[in-house]
């Protein structure tokens, strides 16, 4: 399993009145980390579209468990990996830790790979995930 690690310093704009990260920022960081993980494995949005006809990776479910607050100035590491592949969906897990390795929070995103389908009510349909994509996430 390949893990992508990114770093984030908590800035003023990330914090609420109490000086801790306002939770929606974590979900932005999760989304960005998922994109970076795919790009690091040769699957940028452009490559997904060109090579597989994939138009996006919409969220189906997401959540987080908070352990230690992230405060202004904290240096954080975000570890991201695909934890599970299903036929048409996949589960991305995120772990955020402080610079001293104290856990800050863990989160997840369940996503699908979709292609445009204008004939459908939602305008898209989930694809069966190709093995060629899955294999890129194995060490």
CATH of residue 62: 3.10.129.10
- Domain count across the chain: 1
Q: By residue range, what is the domain housing residue 73?
A: 4-137
As a whole number, mean pLDDT of residues 116-133 equals 93
As a whole number, mean pLDDT of residues 127-138 equals 96
pLDDT higher than threshold 90 for residue 14:
yes
Q: pLDDT class for 139, splitting at 50, 70, 90?
A: confident
pLDDT higher than threshold 90 for residue 63:
yes
List, as one string, the DSSP characters of 41-110: TT--HHHHHHHH---B--EEEEEEEE-S--BTT-EEEEEEEEEEE-SSEEEEEEEEEETT--EEEEEEEE
């Amino acid at each position: 399993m390949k893990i992508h690690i990114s770093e984030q310093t908590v800035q003023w704009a990330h914090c609420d009145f109490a000086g801790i990260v306002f939770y929606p920022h974590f979900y932005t960081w999760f989304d960005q980390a998922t994109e970076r993980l795919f790009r690091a494995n040769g699957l940028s949005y452009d490559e997904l579209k060109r090579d597989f006809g994939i138009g996006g990776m919409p969220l189906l479910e997401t959540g987080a468990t908070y352990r230690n607050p992230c405060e202004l100035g904290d240096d954080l590491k975000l570890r991201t990996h695909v934890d599970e592949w299903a036929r048409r969906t996949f589960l991305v897990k995120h772990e955020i830790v402080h610079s001293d390795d104290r856990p800050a929070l863990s989160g997840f995103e369940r996503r699908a790979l979709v292609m445009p389908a204008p004939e459908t009510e939602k305008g898209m349909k989930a694809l069966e995930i190709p093995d060629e994509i899955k294999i890129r996430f194995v060490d």
